[in-house]
Amino acid sequence: MADAGSQSELAFEPAAFAVRFCGVLHRAGVLVTPEAAGRFAQALRLVPPTCRERLYWAGRVTLVSEQSQRPLFDRVFAAVFDGMLDPADSRGDTSTTTSVVEKPRTRTPTPDTRTVDGPLGSAVDRSGAGRPGESDDQGSTEREAILAAASPDERLAQTAFADMDPEQIIAVRQLVRRIVLATPTRRSRRTRRSSRAGERVDLRRTLRRAQRSGGDPARLVRRTRKDRPRQLVLLCDVSGSMESCAHVFLTLMQGAVTQGNAEAFVFATRLTRLTSSLAGRDVQVALARAAESAPDWAGGTRLGANLCQFVDRYGHRRIVRGAVVVILSDGWECGDPQRLAVQMARLRRRAYRIVWVNPRKAAPGYAPLVGGMAAALPHCDAFVSGHSLSALAEVAAAVGTGRSGYRPFWVPAT
């Protein structure tokens, strides 16, 4: 019997088991990402599921990211491992839409100690210890603590910046530093050597090499123009209406300045350039310098006037010419919206691409129909929310998208 048990344990493959069980959870309505399934398989390797309690907590800690998913996970787990359902029953059937917990396969489980004849392929203790429905208060408290510690980054990613407490803001700013804003490339005037036919010939190097063969240019040296990333320019609104998101956006700008040589500006009642203040690897020192450089923090909003100053001062330089400009603002305009429209049109003629990030876009029923936002949108290439950590991924995707063949969805076709 010991030899048979050893063979069954060797036959157990955590990756295949994780795929089958996560497929059952997905069909039942539990959102399971591929990353969570990978963590579940890794947990099964680190903590072999020799008993029902170990298997339950390995799955619950790695696969359940929200409190609302726990009851459904418990029902699916009981249906599978109490002998009522086999995960292989509906494998390959993509037309099934009914929840697996609503139509379990009828199988009478044996009391006390039972075995799993499904994907585990080995004997598992079913003594009832650690069952999800037990009423032990101390055990429930410990399990709640374990669940609260599961996947904190996933919960932070879905929480809006305006709904976070100061501790969560500090944690999410640590994660924002990992975001890379990569712009599309452009052809530069600098060249490099190339082996491809059709590129222009480097006459100087070709003649120099011909001296080695008696003046006969036996081999042509070719060169091609280099590709370089486009300039990234970020303008962040630090007025009172943006105070809940401004610190997170400033952290994003600091990472872009240090990693990608981006240009950073903030504005409220006036425009302030923060590129030199945000430079440096010490994040706290850089952010402190930036806060000191912007005396109008949490003031009013003068979008049109600040954009006019920005285009007048930097529009003719390399900073804006052919650059990707990202404006982080909720669109509140204290001045004339028509002036904002005129300045956005000027900026559009100089920049390669304009991305507007508005945290209010994620609000239910929001529509950019009035005020400064309605005046600015016809001149933007992308309009995203950026209200949470997961929404900042849309910002990174919009920054890296090319301009050719793109028409904003809010501009009617002519």
Does residue 141 or residue 261 have the better pLDDT?
Answer: 261
Does residue 50 or residue 242 have the better pLDDT?
Answer: 242
Q: Which residue has the tokens 């020192």?
A: 285
Separation between Cα atoms, residue 172 and residue 161, nearest integer Å:
9
Give the model confidence (pLDDT) of 356-396 as tens digits. Answer: 999 999 888 888 887 889 999 999 999 999 999 989 989 99
Does residue 214 or residue 279 have the better pLDDT?
Answer: 279
Ranked by mean pLDDT, the top range of 163-172, 194-203, 306-315 is: 306-315
Q: Which residue has the tokens 């500006």?
A: 265
Give me the mean pLDDT over the 180-185 stretch: 90
pLDDT class of 288 with cuts at 50, 70, 90: confident
What Rg, from alpha-carbon coordinates, does the chain have?
A: 29
Q: Partners of 380 in the beta sheet?
A: none
Give me the mean pLDDT over the 178-182 stretch: 89
**Domains (ranges, CATH) in the chain?**
2-150 (no CATH), 187-229 (no CATH), 232-399 (3.40.50.410)
Query: In the prediction, which pLDDT does 197 show?
Result: 66
Query: In the prediction, which pLDDT does 152 show?
Result: 62
Does residue 145 or residue 57 have the better pLDDT?
Answer: 57
Query: In the prediction, which pLDDT does 289 show?
Result: 82
Query: In the prediction, which pLDDT does 103 show?
Result: 41
Does residue 373 or residue 191 have the better pLDDT?
Answer: 373
Q: From edge to edge, which strands make up the β-sheet containing 185-194?
A: 185-194, 222-229, 200-201
Separation between Cα atoms, residue 383 and residue 355, nearest integer Å:
6
Query: In the prediction, which pLDDT does 126 show?
Result: 37
**Please, which residues have CB within 8 angstroms of residue 323's CB and are 6 or more apart in sequence?**
183, 230, 231, 232, 233, 263, 351, 352
Least trusted range by pLDDT, from 121-135, 173-187, 338-352: 121-135
Separation between Cα atoms, residue 196 and residue 203, nearest integer Å:
16
Query: In the prediction, which pLDDT does 308 show?
Result: 94
Give me the mean pLDDT over the 194-215 stretch: 77
Least trusted range by pLDDT, from 48-57, 316-325, 404-413: 404-413
Kindly tell me the burial class for residue 72, based on how many C-beta atoms sit within 10 Å of its own C-beta (0-12, 13-18, 19 or more): middle
Query: In the prediction, which pLDDT does 402 show?
Result: 73
Q: Which residues of 373-382 are buried (b: 16+ CB within 10 A; e: fewer)?
A: bbbbbebbbb
Separation between Cα atoms, residue 188 and residue 290, nearest integer Å:
32
Structure tokens at 176: 């924002």
- Widest distance between CA atoms in the chain: 95
Q: What are phi and psi of 194, to 5 degrees?
A: -140, 145
With H, G, I as helix, E, B as strand and everything else as coil, classify residue 19: helix
Does residue 141 or residue 158 have the better pLDDT?
Answer: 158
Query: In the prediction, which pLDDT does 42 show?
Result: 85
Indicate if the pLDDT at residue 97 is higher than 50. no
Q: pTM, whole model, 2 decimals?
A: 0.59
Q: Do the strands 222-229 and 200-201 form a parallel or antiparallel pair, or are they unpaired?
A: antiparallel
pLDDT class of 12 with cuts at 50, 70, 90: low
